[in-house]
Each structure stands twice: as structure tokens, then as C-alpha cells.
Amino acid sequence: MKKQKEGLVCANMHDLLSLQTRIKAIKSILPRKTRLFYAIKANSNANILETLFPHIDGFEVASLGELRKVRHISEETPVLFSGSGIQDDELEQALQAGVSYIHVKSLLELRKLIHVASDLNQDINTLIRINLHEHTLPVTNVTLAGKPSPFGMDEWTTEEALAILQDVENTHVHFQGFHVVSGIDLLRYSSFGPESSKLEFV
């Protein structure tokens, strides 16, 4: 590039061989039942996705654009869809693209998902994203408007969310667990209460 152009050259270089070596090493030390997904918001470059694809269990996407990039790599690889403020048409397209899980972040979004899945007559697994309010957890730096606010449901709304999922009218959305984001506190078993000894985190 430098030989072909005079002056300064700006280039974003990817060491794909090192990336492949690194992901293999990470995968080799994970607990047996752990599945590793790559959040493509970190870097959605096609070469990176193709390099990671054979060594991970799937991808996490936050938009239809990201989902299309993953489906260009593979039509079948598992995909977690966890975008914020997901609209009905986005839910519909995500289901039609065969995502494995949709992470819901509000009661309204959960009701939307149930409605869309019913209209499409399609089953879908879901995780409820919750905001833990333990004082040991770090404060989020995400700011949309006003004071910083994390995505997800507050802990005290999860009971209502579970009740909605268990309602007889819900025949297609299947609860699989919780989506918890707690930064580096994920390494502290004490942050998750007396039952934390049963959990493993890496």
C-alpha cells in the first residue's frame, strides 16, 4: 500500500492466524457444558467472522444487519438475538431467519414476541435479560438519555414475566433462563448469593 500511494497510509490490520490460535485456546479451557458465542458488535468484519465460525458455538447479534452478516457466513449456525427496542417486524424477520434464542428486555417486548411467534406458528426459545441491583455489581456506563440506564428488566418484574410465559395463551415462546450482564463481577461467586457455589463462570 505504501509503495502504491504517496503520503500517509492508514490501515486496519487483522492477524487472523493469531485470532484462530487464541479462540482455540479459549475454547479448550472452558467448562464442558459451556458454549461460546461471539458478539459481532465487537467487530463484524467478514474475515473475522469466517475465522471464528469453525471454533465457536454461534454468534450473538443486536440487529437485523448483524444477523444478515452471520447468515451470509452460515444459514444454520446458532444465533442469539439480543437487540434493544426490538420492533414487531424485527422479531418476525429474526424468527424467519431461524435464530436460536431471543433475549427479551421488557414485558412489552415479551408480549410482542409471544404475539409474533403465535402469528407465525413458530416456536422460539427466550432468555429474560434482568438488571441485578446488588450493590456489589458495577454501575453501567450506558447512557441513552438522562442518567445512565442498563438494558433489561428490573429484578422485581421477572415474576410477572414468568407468569406471562406460563399463560395458556403462550404456546410458542419457551423460557430457557436469564441473561445477566454484570461485567467483571461475573468472576465473583459471592455476587450471586448463597447458591453461587453451584455456578461456574469464566
Q: What ranges make up the beta strands (E) of the chain?
A: 37-39, 58-61, 79-81, 101-104, 124-131, 153-154, 173-180
| Mean pLDDT confidence for 186-200 | 46
Confidence of residue 184 (pLDDT cuts 50, 70, 90): very low
**How far is Cα 56 from Cα 36, in angstroms, rounded to an integer?**
6
Check residue 89 and give its pLDDT: 92
Q: What is the pLDDT of residue 141?
A: 54
3-state helix, strand, coil in the chain (%, to 5): 40, 15, 45
Instruction: Tell me the pLDDT band of 2, cut-offs 50, 70 and 90.
Output: confident
pLDDT single digits (tens) 83-139: 877 889 999 999 999 999 999 999 999 999 999 999 999 999 999 988 776 555 455
Lowest mean pLDDT among 29-33, 109-113, 154-158: 154-158
Summarize the confidence of residues 61-83 as an average pLDDT: 94
Check whether 185 has a pLDDT greater than 50.
Answer: no
Pair 85, 108: CB distance under 8 Å: no
* pLDDT for residue 12: 82
**Arithmetic mean of pLDDT over the chain:** 83
Adjacent-strand bridge partners of 80: 60, 101
In this prediction, what percent of the chain has a pLDDT beyond 90? Answer: 59
